[in-house]
Structure 1
Amino acid sequence: MTDVAEFALSSLATVVRIEKPWGYEEIFAVVAGHYVGKVLHIWAGESISLQYHEKKEETIAVQSGIVLLDLGPNRDSLVRMELDPGQTASIPSGVVHRVTAVSDAVLLEASTADPGWQLDVVRLEDRYGRATTATR
């Protein structure tokens, strides 16, 4: 077996599905210190938390459905934009954001994977009763 084939086989992993109150996410790639790849399935009328990340940067692409993206420097200065299939948005660290699905939606997300990336979410509001963690 070649070195490339051995590397490819050693890199195989299983997609991890994580249930969320707004739908579910599938993590299909994690390269620690580099990037994470996810597929987010958000049901019509549901929203992720109003949140920001201390270090994590992410780009989302709408694969299907229509979503509303609220984005801004703080919760009082949000701009709302509609994203349709094929449209993308990059969200730098520190930017407050929330995605709401107008129709059932599938988003592709690529984000940075600094140490502790799994915990790098600061919730400002959450309609599902999950703990908020800051008042930005």
Structure 2
Amino acid sequence: MSATTAVPRAEFFVAATQHKPWGRESLFAAGEQGYVGKLIEVGAGQSLSLQLHLEKDETISVISGAATFEHGPAEDQLTARTLRPGDTVHIPATVVHRITALTDLLFAEASTAAPGWREDVVRLADRYGRTGTTHP
């Protein structure tokens, strides 16, 4: 390697944790490398908003607990499925979806990181007063 070639190195940091009305999320990959990674904790009985993303593509995998996952092409055309540890679901952009924790829930989420990924959420319904917003 020449003297002007940078040698890649491992980077270490503490994941940013943000409290949410339904639990909390830890952001361990914030998009700088082209992807987003989160660990999401949801309290039993709590729900994320009914939402869709215009561009963002997500894959989630349940680590512990159980959840109801609702999904479909529109708010009035949802199918529900129970997710348990090891269950994984890919959610393409524009698919309407919501996760409701049946027990305390921990899942991993990996998603694409196009510019504006943090604001790419259309909330159709939210029990915490965030309907129609992109606020965390």
* Same fold? TM cut 0.5: yes
Give yes or no for the alignment of 1:56 onto 2:60: no
- Write the letter of the residue equivalent to 1:108: A
Q: Residue 30 of structure 2 aligns to a residue in which SS?
A: strand
- Alpha-carbon distance in structure 2 between the residues aligned to 1:33 and 1:12: 14
CA offset at residue 34 of structure 1? 1.6
- Write the letter of the residue equivalent to 2:37: G
- Write the letter of the residue equivalent to 1:12: F
Residue of structure 2 in register with 1:38 after alignment: 38
Give yes or no for the alignment of 1:106 onto 2:106: yes
Residue of structure 1 in register with 2:3 after alignment: none
Residue of structure 2 in register with 1:20 after alignment: 20
* Deviation string, structure 1 residues 24-79 (Cα, Å, up to 9, x no partner): 00001123362100000000000000000000000000000000000000001000
Cα RMSD (Å) of the superposition? 1.4
- Count of residues in Structure 1 that have an aligned counterpart in Structure 2: 128
- Alpha-carbon distance in structure 2 between the residues aligned to 1:25 and 1:120: 17
| Identical-residue share of aligned pairs (%) | 48
CA offset at residue 132 of structure 1? 1.7
- Write the letter of the residue equivalent to 1:3: V
Please give the residue correspondences for 1:1-136 in structure 2 after superposition, counting only pairs within 5 Å.
3-4=7-8, 7-8=9-10, 11-32=11-32, 34-133=34-133
Segment of structure 1 superposing worse, 24-33 or 40-49: 24-33
- Alpha-carbon distance in structure 2 between the residues aligned to 1:70 and 1:42: 15
- Alpha-carbon distance in structure 2 between the residues aligned to 1:84 and 1:102: 10
Contact 1:32 1:114 in 2 (8 A): no
Q: Residue 118 of structure 2 aligns to a residue in which SS?
A: helix
- Alpha-carbon distance in structure 1 between the residues aligned to 2:52 and 2:131: 14
- Alpha-carbon distance in structure 2 between the residues aligned to 1:59 and 1:105: 16
Contact 1:65 1:84 in 2 (8 A): yes
After TM superposition, the score normalised by the length of structure 1 is 0.89
